[in-house]
Amino acid sequence: MKKKRVKLGVIGLGSRGFGILKGVLMLLCEQGSIEILGVCDLYEDRAKNAFECVKEKTGKAPICTTDYREVLAIKELDAVLVMTAWESHIEISTAAMKAGKQVGVEVGSAYSIDDCFRLVRTHEETGKHCMMLENCCYGRRELMVLNMVKLGVFGEIVHCSGGYLHDLRSEIANGDINRHYRQRNYLLRNCENYPTHELGPIAQVLNINRGNRMLYLTSVASCARGLHEYIVENRGADHPLAKVDVAQGDIVTTIIKCAGGQTIVLTLDTTLPRAYSRGFTVRGTKGMYCEDGNYIHMEGESEWTPVAGKVNSADKYAEEYEHPMWREYKKNPVSGHDGIDWLVYNAFIESVAEKTTPPIDTYDTASWMCISTLTEESIACGGKPVSIPDFTNGKWILRTEQEETSDSMYCLSKIVKK
Amino acid sequence: MKKKRVKLGVIGLGSRGFGILKGVLMLLCEQGSIEILGVCDLYEDRAKNAFECVKEKTGKAPICTTDYREVLAIKELDAVLVMTAWESHIEISTAAMKAGKQVGVEVGSAYSIDDCFRLVRTHEETGKHCMMLENCCYGRRELMVLNMVKLGVFGEIVHCSGGYLHDLRSEIANGDINRHYRQRNYLLRNCENYPTHELGPIAQVLNINRGNRMLYLTSVASCARGLHEYIVENRGADHPLAKVDVAQGDIVTTIIKCAGGQTIVLTLDTTLPRAYSRGFTVRGTKGMYCEDGNYIHMEGESEWTPVAGKVNSADKYAEEYEHPMWREYKKNPVSGHDGIDWLVYNAFIESVAEKTTPPIDTYDTASWMCISTLTEESIACGGKPVSIPDFTNGKWILRTEQEETSDSMYCLSKIVKK
């Protein structure tokens, strides 16, 4: 593809940011799709590491700073990646749009509804987009199942579930006590703090903001036991972390009701021993998919088949229903999160280069990010249902078919013919 | 065992009642544990079928009636089994206790909180018990996991989930339109109508009513699509059932918060295509069990092992942790629901013969049955949290260790040493 080379600033170079820089971004530089003009982190050592990495791999020295405004001030810049601590995602993203840059923001969530509206209003005022770089939307199974949903294989979809089911105790307990944003969030907040794995892929299945929307939610957290017990046993009862209360419940369950009548159950499950999963599950009137066990059950199969007997039955559907994006990707696979990072970053860079609306747009980003603050409110008030704002202000009713005309291979909402 | 022969009346002889009569009860007659003095159903044909069955198999003719009061009037009767439509469970159970009979009531749920209190008050006034015959409390895996929980293998338990995950469309759609209680409930009510698979086993794990209690719940239902679509496709668009609205949402998700801080997630999932499961899941600070995939994940195992790779890993724990009740049962297995019916009916009959408190007592029965009417309220009010009554009026605080001294092999709450 002979596309415009996108001029990029990278803000936030902690573990995730630096990992993406070294992997996906350096490869995109090599391929000539992007050029990195600025790197920034609040901590000088991180910014310098990134600077050295870019300079060594590309031969060009980017601006290196601890103040993100210096990156936004680079005039030729087309876009920035925001990979900072969750708390600053919206602040930096809105500042970037106001500076005329397109924004790709890493996975995270919001701390107030007002901040989400600020994101949307800034997009509407500037015409710039803020795409959440939700890599799970580009998961292989997620896309295969989305393809099957769009083709009607599962009938009408009435329920989905999923979550972030990932034992993070070691990461949180061993993190630097001053710099680790996830750690400080776990100590002080109690909410669904990481909703977009698997809300992102579910939003595609249920056409959220495109003919459907999330109406209200209710959320309840279990007590917090796992992290403290882990800290005491692994870092000792005298460690400073062992002496502070953990606010974040071990398991947070959230039920979301949609305008179309569907329900979504989200689970945050990160501080107890478990095997990794995102628990992606789609239920329709003609069949279902379940990531746990990797199985598909279709209408007409025996209702008594025990679930354990169906394990890995999804594999046989791949030949017929693999998403074209993944058929293409598998020809030239690259490293990093099973290809999902590669796909989502390419989707963003393409939308910047082509000046198109990204497949995950600012309304999606805001409506996914708001879940965190709404669950915080619901949990604090004993599972009180809270309404989910319509950030589109009614445009979701008209946006039904909008995206299906996109000719981007990264488009999530169009129907892909076999 | 040389036990008193229990004199029994059987009320309600539909599909479930007649199945239990033919199987479990006839075997208990044969073994000399019980004698059936009366059979009753609202429908004469069903009562007569049961009468013929008992007469043929035992040589003795029970009283046969369509009025349950005639069964309760049998003076020598020790106990009755209530296996009628859900709507009459509490009415008949309270009448039976007032007539001086012990009560075993089949799985079902309540239509008002007042009715649950009526059950408890009648128990307190009469000294008679009402045991819910929740067979899943006696499931092999449920008991093995309970044993592991009591032995501390999973650490502190913070979360459980489960449900009634059973495609019932064929049963409901093909049921007699006048007699089928499940069918009429699905047409008119929207709630968690069958909570006790898996709430019963979870209540054992979390010591509900014995040092812990359920505090509040919130419940949300999906739209109702599966049953209507099935009826239209299988009985035709002109069938009377195809012309009525279905009230019952396809998937009902309920989150329960306990006094001890634990959460319980219950799912009713009965009108969409799926494989059978009760989804029993127990989460502790040291490990977890999950029925879907039949796996156990323990502290120290790789957090990245995909769930599908752990399938059937629970099997290897059976040798060490199989519950003694099941070790005993497996020596002489009998037919019917994998032995769980046999165990739960024996538990009831033993408690009647020995004049002991049954392992599932009236407080358990009331607190499990109330979930249905509470979810109905919560769903109707958009997921509003509703408080769960304390039917023990504070006795749950003192009942902590009460049952552990029981020497019944059917006792659920005591710690079973290896």
User: Which of B140, B217, B248, B263 would you mutate first to test chain A, the one with the most A CBs within 10 A?
Assistant: B263
Q: How confident is the model at residue A302 (pLDDT cuts 50, 70, 90)?
A: confident
Q: What is the pLDDT of residue B305?
A: 86
* Interchain pair B308, A292: CB under 8 A: yes
Q: What is the pLDDT of residue B333?
A: 87
Written in H, E and C, the secondary structure of chain B is CCCCCEEEEEECCCHHHHHHHHHHHHHHHHCCCEEEEEEECCCHHHHHHHHHHHHHHHCCCCEEECCHHHHHCCCCCCEEEECCCHHHHHHHHHHHHHCCCEEEECCCCCCCHHHHHHHHHHHHHHCCCEEECCHHHHCHHHHHHHHHHHCCCCCCEEEEEEEEECCCHHHHHCCCCCCCHHHHHHHHCCCCCCCHHHHHHHHHHCCECCCECEEEEEEEECCCCHHHHHHHHHHCCCCHHHHCCCCCCCEEEEEEEECCCCEEEEEEECCCCCCCECCCEEEECCEEEECCCCEEEECCCCCCCCHHHHCCCCHHHHHHHCCHHHHHHCCCCCCCHHHHHHHHHHHHHHHHHHCCCCCCCHHHHHHHHHHHHHHHHHHHCCCCCEECCCCCCCHHHHCCCHHHHCCCCCCCCCCCCC
Backbone φ and ψ of A389, nearest 5°: -60, 150
Give the strand pairing for A263-269 and A157-165.
parallel
Q: What is the mean pLDDT of chain A?
A: 94
* Interchain pair B253, A274: CB under 8 A: no
* Interchain pair B158, A272: CB under 8 A: yes
Has residue A417 got a pLDDT over 70? no
For residue B308, list chain A residues with Cβ-Cβ distance below 8 A: 292-294, 311-312
For residue B257, list chain A residues with Cβ-Cβ distance below 8 A: 220, 382-383
Q: How confident is the model at residue A337 (pLDDT cuts 50, 70, 90)?
A: low
Has residue A13 got a pLDDT over 60? yes
* Interchain pair B308, A299: CB under 8 A: no
User: Which of B266, B274, B315 would you mutate first to test chain A, the one with the most A CBs within 10 A?
Assistant: B274
Partner residue facing B251 (CB), from A159, A274, A277: A159
Partner residue facing A263 (CB), from B158, B251, B303: B251
* Interchain pair A303, B262: CB under 8 A: no
**Rounded Cα distance, A277 and B308, in Å:** 9
pLDDT tens digits, A209-235: 999 999 999 999 999 999 999 999 999
Interface size A-B, in CB pairs within 8 Å, comes to: 210
Partner residue facing B304 (CB), from A255, A262, A276: A276
Has residue B315 got a pLDDT over 90? yes
For residue B301, list chain A residues with Cβ-Cβ distance below 8 A: 273, 275
* Interchain pair A292, B297: CB under 8 A: no
Where do we find the tokens 């209200």? Answer: A216
* Interchain pair B383, A310: CB under 8 A: no
Partner residue facing A310 (CB), from B262, B275, B284: B275
Q: What is the pLDDT of residue B403?
A: 52
User: Which of B251, B269, B305 would you mutate first to test chain A, the one with the most A CBs within 10 A?
Assistant: B251
* Interchain pair A275, B218: CB under 8 A: no
Q: How confident is the model at residue B416 (pLDDT cuts 50, 70, 90)?
A: low
For residue B174, list chain A residues with Cβ-Cβ distance below 8 A: none
For residue B383, list chain A residues with Cβ-Cβ distance below 8 A: 216-218, 255, 257, 383, 385
Chain A nearest-CA distance from B120, in A, is: 27
Output the DSSP codes for A232-279: HHHH-TTSGGGGS---S-SEEEEEEEETTS-EEEEEEE-SS----B--
pLDDT tens digits, A146-181: 999 999 999 999 999 999 999 999 999 998 888 899
Neighbours of A220 (CB within 10 A): 26
Contacts of B344 (CB under 8 A, 6+ apart): B133, B134, B135, B137, B138
**Rounded Cα distance, A169 and A271, in Å:** 5
Closest residue, chain A, to B171 (C-alpha)? A303
Q: How confident is the model at residue B269 (pLDDT cuts 50, 70, 90)?
A: very high
Token reading at B417: 């040493």
Partner residue facing B307 (CB), from A226, A275, A309: A275
Residue pair A221/A411 in contact (Cβ under 8 Å)? The answer is: no
* Interchain pair B308, A294: CB under 8 A: yes
Q: What is the pLDDT of residue B404?
A: 52
**Rounded Cα distance, A139 and A263, in Å:** 22
- Does domain A6-135 correspond to CATH entry 3.40.50.300? no
Residue pair B251/A158 in contact (Cβ under 8 Å)? The answer is: yes
For residue A259, list chain B residues with Cβ-Cβ distance below 8 A: none
User: Which of A274, A276, A290, A386 would you mutate first to test chain B, the one with the most B CBs within 10 A?
Assistant: A274
**Rounded Cα distance, A292 and B177, in Å:** 38
Contacts of B130 (CB under 8 A, 6+ apart): B93, B94, B97, B103, B104, B105, B119, B122, B123, B361, B362, B365
Closest residue, chain A, to B154 (C-alpha)? A273
* Interchain pair A253, B272: CB under 8 A: no
Q: What is the pLDDT of residue B417?
A: 53
Q: How confident is the model at residue A405 (pLDDT cuts 50, 70, 90)?
A: low
User: Which of A167, A272, A277, A387 would you mutate first to test chain B, the one with the most B CBs within 10 A?
Assistant: A272
Residue pair A104/A348 in contact (Cβ under 8 Å)? The answer is: yes
Q: How confident is the model at residue B221 (pLDDT cuts 50, 70, 90)?
A: very high
Q: What is the pLDDT of residue B401?
A: 55
Q: How confident is the model at residue A409 (pLDDT cuts 50, 70, 90)?
A: confident
Reported for A327-330, long-range contacts at CB under 8 A and 24+ positions apart, including other chains, are A328/A409
Has residue A404 got a pLDDT over 70? no
Residue pair A197/A161 in contact (Cβ under 8 Å)? The answer is: no
Neighbours of B217 (CB within 10 A): 28
Q: How confident is the model at residue A403 (pLDDT cuts 50, 70, 90)?
A: low
End-to-end CA distance of chain A: 24
For residue B287, list chain A residues with Cβ-Cβ distance below 8 A: 273
Mean pLDDT, to the nearest integer, of B223-228?
Answer: 98
Q: What is the pLDDT of residue A332?
A: 87
Q: Per mean pLDDT, which range of A198-207, B87-96, B169-178, B250-259 is the poorest?
A: B169-178
Chain A nearest-CA distance from B192, in A, is: 15
Output the DSSP codes for A12-60: --SHHHHHHIIIIIHHHHHTTSEEEEEEE-SSHHHHHHHHHHHHHHHS-
For residue A135, give the DSSP letter. G
Closest residue, chain B, to A387 (C-alpha)? B382
User: Which of B216, B301, B303, B310 would you mutate first to test chain A, the one with the most A CBs within 10 A?
Assistant: B303
Q: How confident is the model at residue A416 (pLDDT cuts 50, 70, 90)?
A: low
* Interchain pair A155, B229: CB under 8 A: yes
The class of domain A136-323+364-403 in CATH terms is: alpha beta
Dihedral angle at the C-alpha atoms of B26, B97, B208, B211, nearest 10 degrees? Answer: -130
Contacts of A197 (CB under 8 A, 6+ apart): A107, A134, A136, A162, A163, A164, A278
* Interchain pair A225, B285: CB under 8 A: yes
Q: What's the alpha-carbon Rg for chain B, to the nearest Å?
A: 21
Reported for A245-248, long-range contacts at CB under 8 A and 24+ positions apart, including other chains, are A245/A187, A246/A186, A246/A187, A246/A271, A247/A186, A247/A187, A247/A188, A247/A189, A247/A190, A248/A185, A248/A186, A248/A187, A248/A189, A248/A190, A248/A191, A248/A193, A248/A221, A248/A224
For residue A222, list chain B residues with Cβ-Cβ distance below 8 A: 158-159, 261-263
- CATH 3.40.50.720 residue window(s) in chain A: 6-135
Q: What is the pLDDT of residue B202?
A: 98
* Interchain pair B222, A159: CB under 8 A: yes
Backbone φ and ψ of B28, nearest 5°: -65, -35
Has residue B405 got a pLDDT over 60? no
- Amino acid at the residue A263: T
Handedness of CA B197, B203, B209, B212 (dihedral sign): negative
* Interchain pair A255, B304: CB under 8 A: no
* Interchain pair B293, A297: CB under 8 A: no
* Interchain pair B294, A308: CB under 8 A: yes
For residue A382, list chain B residues with Cβ-Cβ distance below 8 A: 216, 257, 385
Has residue A250 got a pLDDT over 60? yes
Chain A nearest-CA distance from B305, in A, is: 5
Closest residue, chain A, to B313 (C-alpha)? A308
Q: What is the pLDDT of residue B314?
A: 94
Has residue B283 got a pLDDT over 60? yes
For residue B216, list chain A residues with Cβ-Cβ distance below 8 A: 382-383
User: Which of A156, A170, A253 would you mutate first to test chain B, the one with the most B CBs within 10 A?
Assistant: A253
Partner residue facing A158 (CB), from B262, B272, B297: B272
Q: What is the pLDDT of residue B334?
A: 83
pLDDT tens digits, A55-83: 999 999 999 999 999 999 999 999 999 99
- CATH 3.30.360.10 residue window(s) in chain B: 136-323+364-403
Q: What element of type H or E holds A63?
A: strand A63-65
Has residue A414 got a pLDDT over 90? no
Has residue A1 got a pLDDT over 50? no
Q: What is the pLDDT of residue B349?
A: 97
Closest of B102, B96, B100, B21 to residue B55, by C-alpha: B21
Q: What is the pLDDT of residue A175?
A: 87
Q: How confident is the model at residue A305 (pLDDT cuts 50, 70, 90)?
A: confident
Q: What is the mean pLDDT of chain B?
A: 94
Closest residue, chain A, to B378 (C-alpha)? A385
Backbone φ and ψ of B338, nearest 5°: 55, 30
Percent of chain B with pLDDT over 90: 89
